[in-house]
Amino acid sequence: MTMSNRFTRSALAFVAAVSMPLSAAQAEKISMNFGIIDNKGNCGVQLPFDNGKKLELNVRSKDGNLNVRVQNLPAALVNAAKDKENSPITLVFDGKEKVVVDEGYYSAGFYYELRGYWNDSADGAAALRAFKKAKNITVKFDGQSFGPVSTQAGSINMAWGMIASCVERNGGVMPGDDG
């Protein structure tokens, strides 16, 4: 079975499972606008901002390590800041809960982006707990702010569901899935 077929089956099963209790009158139209990453145990989503930039959240199944990337940044911004030792990224969930990534750095190449990660996988669990409940995420760094970007498909946090499903399929346990 190809990756595309597995994704389609997983997405359809997930949507069917969460929407079954709804009557036809209660059902809502579901629209998804994000990319899925399912690559050798790396599970993530790419959430597009209105301005062409993307927020990527990626969990490594074997240890629950969360990585964050803001892609398609202006080359001038990245080139001016790429020598900085640390460029912290703040994730703001639903405009309220803030989580700061331990380390962040600019990268220029195929993508002009800011990458962030936690030194200890357990430290990223706070961000994943907030992500699980969130309807949207705003990203802030170096005086820049992007978002909010929606995690939802209808009233379902589809972005969280797709990552959690991928992590489980790859034998991992989703950090932050404890409440």
What CATH number is associated with residue 65? 2.60.40
Residue 55 domain boundaries:
3-17+33-169
Residue 105 lies in a domain: yes
How are beta strands 103-107 and 113-117 bridged, if at all?
antiparallel
Mean pLDDT for the stretch of residues 42-54? 92
Residue 10 lies in a domain: yes
pLDDT digits (tens, 9 = 90+) for 63-102: 889 999 999 999 999 999 988 888 999 999 999 999 999 9
Mean pLDDT for the stretch of residues 158-173? 91
Q: What's the structural domain count of the chain?
A: 1
User: Phi, psi at residue 42, to the nearest 5°?
Assistant: -95, 120
Residue 110 lies in a domain: yes
Three-state SS at 58 = strand
Report in angstroms the alpha-carbon separations of 56 from 27, 33, 42, 80. Answer: 29, 13, 12, 22
Alpha helices in 99-146 (DSSP H): 125-133
Cα 95 to Cα 60: distance, rounded to the nearest angstrom:
26
Which pTM was predicted? Answer: 0.79
